[in-house]
Amino acid sequence: MNFMLQDLNWMDVERYLERDNRIILLTGATEQHAYLSLLTDILIPSRLALAIAERENVLIAPPFNFGVSELFLDFPGTISLSPASFDAVLNDIVDSLIMQGFSRFFILNGHGGNKLPSRLTELHLEGLAVISWYDWWRSDAVKDFEDEYGLAMDHANWGENFTFNRLVDSPREPKNTVNLDLLSEGNTAREVLGDGCFGGEYQVADDLMQLLFERVVEEAASHVAALKE
């Protein structure tokens, strides 16, 4: 089965809706991630979504590649939306899909600046749609992994450094945690963040990252399974 809308025509989707009304939406950002891809916050949820879809036979909508990333606009390549713009686009995406018969949405979010629009919360509370918002890096699976291996995930450090979004070798020495309070004292993001990483190990063993990936997929897939009528 093809899971991504790009690989389907409208008739394929209509046949899918005859048996299922779930869909995975991907939200993230195009922003600096130190030595990692500018699309890290989309590449990670996209890979997770494909693994989830293969387990649950559920469709994946095209990714919403831009998020609320104003903090990083000093870094070339970052593209930011206002919160109002982000909310408006995501609301329109959900409205379009509801009109066609989708009613159960798993929103797999890859960026901390993005929040669930209040209107989608209202749709959920009113019973007009089932909306599940999942910040993968804040999941119980990740927290348990951090505790087990004595690691702390942060922006652009080891926790986002997978083989598929790694562009160059990362520094071998860990970085001291940056003091984000300095941003409120008139310092620029470039001055405070340096290369853009928030601190900690830049990279850990690939087999550990594969284990982390599999644990997040397992947890997220259980949420998607729970959406099925």
- Which pLDDT tens digits describe the chain residue by residue (229 residues)? 789 999 999 999 999 999 999 999 999 999 999 999 999 999 999 999 999 999 999 999 999 999 999 999 999 999 999 999 999 999 999 999 999 999 999 999 999 999 999 999 999 999 999 999 999 999 999 999 999 999 999 999 999 999 999 999 999 999 999 999 998 888 999 999 999 999 999 999 999 999 999 999 999 999 999 998 6
What secondary structure letter does DSSP report for 168? S
Is 25 in contact with 106 (CB distance < 8 Å)? Answer: yes
Q: How far apart are the C-alpha atoms of 13 and 21, rounded to whole Å? A: 10
Query: Residue 163's pLDDT is what?
Result: 97
Query: Residue 185's pLDDT is what?
Result: 87
What secondary structure letter does DSSP report for 157? S
Query: Residue 24's pLDDT is what?
Result: 98
Fold classification of 5-227 is: Rossmann fold (3.40.50)
Q: What angle do CA 218, 24, 18 make, to 5 degrees?
A: 110
Residue 107 is encoded by which pair of tokens? Answer: 């929103």
Which pTM was predicted?
A: 0.96
Query: Residue 229's pLDDT is what?
Result: 67
Residue reference for tokens 């909310």: 87
What secondary structure letter does DSSP report for 45? H
Q: How far apart are the C-alpha atoms of 24 and 102, rounded to whole Å? A: 10
Q: How many CB atoms are closer than 10 A to CB 205?
A: 9
Q: What is the crossing angle of helices 206-227 and 140-149, to 10°? A: 150
Is 105 in contact with 137 (CB distance < 8 Å)? Answer: no
Query: Residue 122's pLDDT is what?
Result: 95
